Amino acid sequence: MIGYVTIGTNDLARAAKFYDALLAELGGKRMMESEQFVAWDRGDGGAGLGVTKPFDGRPASVGNGVMVALMAGAPETVDRVYKKALELGGTDEGPAGPRGDTGFYAGYFRDLDGNKLNVFCMTK
C-alpha cells in the first residue's frame, strides 16, 4: 500500500546523518539522493523513507497528528532503534515497551526537526 513516506527538514545534511545511523539499525540504506532530498529503503521492495527540503522553499514544519511508524522484527530491535534515536539527539515521546495486551510493542520519538516517529513490532 504505502510506497514511501517523506518528511520535511530544514537541515538536510543533519537529517541525513541522523537517518543514516537510525535506519541502518533496521537494514536501511540510502537509495536515492539529490541536493533537495535523501531517501532510504531496505532493498526488499518495502516502503521507503525520505527527508526533503520543502519544494515551495518555505521552512519545513511538523504536521500535528502526523507520525511515521518504522516496522521492526522483534522487541529487541525496537529497543535498540529507540535507544539509537535518543543517542542521535532525538527526543522521547514514549519509551519502548508493550502497549496494552494487544501484542503491540513500540517506542516513540521525535527526530532533530521535531517529526514524530515510532518503531514497532507485533509480538502476537
Q: Could you tell me the pTM of the whole model?
A: 0.93
In a domain, 62, yes or no: no
What's the domain range around 113?
Answer: 4-53+68-122
**Mean pLDDT across 91-119:** 97
- With a cut of 90, say whether residue 1 has pLDDT above it: no
Q: How far is CA 89 from CA 72, 80, 84, in A?
A: 21, 15, 9
In a domain, 60, yes or no: no
Query: How many domains, the chain?
Result: 1
In a domain, 63, yes or no: no
* Residue pLDDT, tens place only, 16-30: 999 999 999 999 999
In a domain, 58, yes or no: no
Phi, psi of 80 (to 5 degrees): -65, -45
Distance CA 119, CA 32 (A): 22
Instruction: Give the pLDDT confidence score for residue 51 in this predicted structure.
Output: 97
CATH number of the structural domain spanning residue 99: 3.10.180.10
Position 59: which residue type? P
Distance CA 2, CA 37 (A): 19
- With a cut of 90, say whether residue 75 has pLDDT above it: yes
